[in-house]
Structure 1
Amino acid sequence: MRSGGTWRATVATAALGSLLAIATLTACDGARDGARDGAGAEAGKSAPKRSAAADPTRIPGVGDRWQRRIPADSRQVLAVYGEAKDSPDATAVLYTKHGTTWERVRSWPAHNGKRGWTTDHHEGDNRSPVGVFTLSDAGGVLKNPGAGLPYTRSAALAAPRWWAKSYWHDFDYVIAIDYNRVKGTPPNDPTRPEGYDKGGSIWLHMDHGSGTSACVSLSESAMEHLLRTLDPDRHPVVVMGDRADLKASR
């Protein structure tokens, strides 16, 4: 999922389109095994009530290390709880803040990197980065479903047709995770401020039924709900990682 380096302004438009497609590929490819996008994934559902013992002023299952990195002005958090460090399976939960209280709104099954999670992500390691990242830009092959975030519709986001057919719809909807990218640009902008080796183009995108190269994937209905719900005025972030690391205090 990592593409880096500087792109020359003199590259022809056609060549740039090809390079952007490659950048997208190296960001979330994994197009060699897996089922049809969304296969087996549940639609979004109402989340169960919070345990009476839980602190309503904190995101559940998130220790001090990551809790303090949630911006003070953030009022929307998508928490992605990975089942285990080396597992591609996860659960995504949307929380909204009212006053000082976090309310669990909705949850969905999800997938992350096919090799699991890491706190030191690098290009090609097939692990999703653990951390807290802002969500600033969205887009996709399909028309805007009513997104609150800036939405760029572009055919350049389409998965290459030489990928397995089950992956063709991965990027029908995407939300850029602000890891090694420039905020305020389309999700497939190739700029990598920290360089190629640190990877990039890590997105929330449509699920194909198995692990990704580093992105987080959800069902089509989940993506539509997030696109319509995430509000830049509420400063949304994603808190993501395996459950054990998310619970860590330091």
Structure 2
Amino acid sequence: MHLRRASLSVTAAVVVSTLGVAAYKYIPHDDSTTASGKDSVAARAAAGQPLPTPAAPRVTVQPRPEFPAKLPGLGPKTLAHVPENTRQILLVTGAGKHSASSKAVLWQRVDGRWHPGAVWAAHNGYRGWTDEHYAGDLRSPIGVFGLTDAGGRLADPGTKLPYHHSGAFSTNGTGLEDESLNGVFDYVIAINYNRQPGASPMDGTHPLGGNRGGGIWLHIDHGGPTHACVSLSRAHMKELLRALEPAGHPVVVMGDAASLAR
């Protein structure tokens, strides 16, 4: 018995690379897809011979979204705490572990890629940063915290976050370096450290206990260090409030550079 040898046609496709060098990619074609191939398949079937296995359909692999692994300055320990559905990250990087000065950048993920905003000057706790914050230690907590609730003494400037407008967002007196605190709570965003998300920034619920501090906000800068909050200029606070969206599951990633790089 003579077996008919299945013929295999080969098509050479020329692909020109960006360097101008031609490369060849060989793509095999099953003869069963041609008219003569169909006759060959019919003949095999009539002779009781095994039929060729049809080629598997091509599968288009969708590119995976770029996760925060490429955000500069963030190490694996920090990234592990960033929720996968987060599309907005306010990255606040302290100048040093004991410094009250920091920089803030709003990163937003669009079409699977992270895009940075402008760099904003900021202040943090008077004594810098800590991995374990306690009330009155004058240090800002290091970590990844949700941004779900806003409010202020002034009317909502156009945020999509729930906004609690109240005259209770007021303070007087001076800061730690004798600077005026007038108007610092005109706009605030609650940092979800030791608080109940979904409540007004004024809510006093402290799941970790009162001794672990609370009421830590993003608020308007007063030209000096804070007790534990992070402060931005009035213009940047308004810009941030208008940019944040609940659907983007925004978080603040905050701490000194060395700690965030872990």
Short-chain TM bin:
0.7 to 0.9
Q: For residue 200 of structure 2, what is the aligned residue in structure 1?
A: 186
Going from structure 1 to structure 2, the CA distance change for 1:56 and 1:190 (only over 3 Å counts) comes to closer
Matches within 5 A, 1:71-220: 71-160=83-172, 166-220=180-234
Structure 2 Cα separation of the partners of residues 237 and 166 of structure 1:
29
Structure 2 CA distance for aligned equivalents of residues 134 and 211 of structure 1: 22
**Structure 1 position 100, deviation (Å):** 3.3
1:241 aligns with 2:255: yes
User: Is the contact between residue 56 and residue 103 of structure 1 (CA under 8 Å) also seen in structure 2?
Assistant: no
CA-to-partner distance for each residue in 1:169-205, whole Å, 9 max, x for gaps?
A: 1101000000000111110111111111111000000
Q: Which structure ranks higher in relative contact order (CA pairs < 8 Å, sequence separation ≥ 6)?
A: 1
- Matches of 2:191 and 2:70, distance apart in 1: 22
Unmatched tracts of structure 2, length 5 or more: 1-66
8 Å CA contact retained: 1:121, 1:199: yes
> Is contact 2:126–2:227 with CA below 8 Å preserved after alignment?
yes
How many angstroms apart in 1 are the aligned matches of 2:110 and 2:245?
14
Identity %: 49
Determine the C-alpha separation between the residues in 2 that align with 1:235 and 1:245: 23
Say whether the 8 Å CA contact 1:95–1:106 is kept in structure 2.
Answer: no
2:161 aligned counterpart, secondary structure: coil
Q: Look up the match of 1:58.
A: 70
TM-score by length of 2: 0.71
Q: Which structure has the bigger radius of gyration?
A: 2
Indicate if the aligned counterparts of 2:148 and 2:190 stay in contact, CA closer than 8 A: yes
What root-mean-square deviation, in Å, do the aligned CA atoms of Structure 1 and Structure 2 show?
1.6
CA distance in 1 between partners of 2:200 and 2:173 (Å):
22
How many angstroms apart in 1 are the aligned matches of 2:232 and 2:112?
A: 28
The answer for unaligned runs of 5 or more in structure 1 is 1-54
Determine helix, strand or coil for the equivalent of 2:168.
helix
Letter in 1 for 2:148: S
Question: Hey, what's the Cα distance between the residues in 2 that align with 1:107 and 1:204?
Answer: 16
* Structure-1-length-normalised TM-score: 0.75
1:221 partner letter: A
